[in-house]
Structure 1
């Protein structure tokens, strides 16, 4: 297999001298025992240096695929190299589903879990919350298993790769379900802000897409259960889209999941992109910030006030809601959240001032940045938002006392080194 040299957007060149592709857990354990510095990597869909290391990178793509469904416990155990795209159709054929998905199905489940990546829905928690158990290889090469209810479990799930290399995940299942997706264009900004909770709770999963361009929110994507009442013709001042849409207004919608109210399986509606639609190289940067959901309206007005400072760099923005969880380093720890996501042009000279303006606008709402995306915030601005940070640091040091799995990103943003 090829050496992994860059992240997905190819703006970060990894310093790692070696890329390891173990084919078995035993082989991985041997690699860990002899390494001095090591970082795991999934689908490379990160936009900062969270995966970088001067030592070795470990990819688990060569592990044998493992999909073990336990109907009694309603769980599935999978290997840590598997993607949602590989797992979801298998679950669906067996009559099962995951409760939610992110916008893209082609990234690894373990990468999404480790960084608290999410979908949307007022009552839907992030993807890490579906983990019922996990196994990882710690710095000694030992295999550690933790399950929901164990003392350290809530600290280990969103682990940022700091405890070791995860080898398996056990995920909660629900019976398979079907979803219809309806898109609306041109929502009234004031109506959206004024009834934000009602709007975002109007379907199983709701996303707003916008360019922050005045009195309109460009689009609402409603992903409703197939047996829910049909959506209205008018929605918060917006009208039903006459044809399938891209998240970026005016672009070709090829590769997006089915719309126009056509019912389809959960895994081909909850994501925005179809399986296999994302290119091998991403020509964009991404950032995302999370604030308490009760601040949603005020935060939207704050972004609206500086929108012209975003326009030189902005491709599109998305707004989603996520329910609270108890995972120590989750960006949704302890509070229902709203996530403000931004896709940027691949132009750092334009993106940097836009990020500075955006972070200043959101500062009154104590934002937490997404662990795997671009941000400028210094750690002292967001680490106090994690009440269990000291416990996480202690947990990481127990499993990795020499810092084998640490890197510059973790030293800077988690351990305060």
Structure 2
């Protein structure tokens, strides 16, 4: 039935109905109508198979799109054969039914003469973030009567990442400092503070002979040494709380998605400055990423946030050791929390004990007693999912 077009499906049921109405009566010749319609369908099936031509199909699929934002998938089709390909149309396989593509063929490209190239496109909107697989593209023909489809399946095997939708922040107020970073800017880029020497100066007693700048010595006729700038810069840790109980996964899904959007907005704001970002998120998998200053791009952070799912088992025991190991070089930790309990309190206490400044943001309604939070993060904020969806300008 999948290969029947709308018209073909109508003819099929007309033939079936005429047979049922006939009921074995010799007076009503309904079976003749059924045979005629069956013959038309049979001719369509044979003709479509004979008219089918294998074409070169090149899908043009974006790697990343944003949740709820329209985007386009295009497909370039070329007839490399010597015969005309008749009544060509296309279908994408693998995207969810919410896009309206799973059972619909289109666009219709018509006939392709030998050597001719045509391009078709789909306008899509994906309402949920995540990773989607575009499995294949059907190149079909409905020749000659538009009743039956015959197709070739072109494997694609491409993935499409849907980023969480977020509203960019205008300002992000957080306490920051500068710490010495082992390995220096060679780990990040040459943006901002640099390990390249800044200047040369005259040699002084106690200077290392390795620091001598030989070309300048030859030019000036006296020893000179290179001067370096110390490698200090800001490094921000963003910690994403993913723990929800099995019951809360459905009840607080909106809060979780809002927290993801907020984390994306914070990452976007931080990436505009010369900071190094460490992202920590513990879900079914543990995610850790260092980005910023050209070590990686904002897209790398959003790649992770696109795929993070709630964790129904407390994730702090798994997250805390890895987070604390990297805090020696972190100046500020921004934590997005979904609740407040003893495990989360221990995490914040451990962060502050390592000399890191804290900024804490809670997401949700009716979070209960938040006493004790100000002991670790004075001026913490609480936002609802609706506020985040409407857009938060300042944090």
TM-score when normalising by structure 2: 0.22
Greater relative CO (CA pairs within 8 A, separation 6+): 1
Q: TM-score normalised to the size of structure 1?
A: 0.21
Greater helix proportion = 2
When Rg is computed on C-alpha atoms for both structures, the one with the higher figure is 2
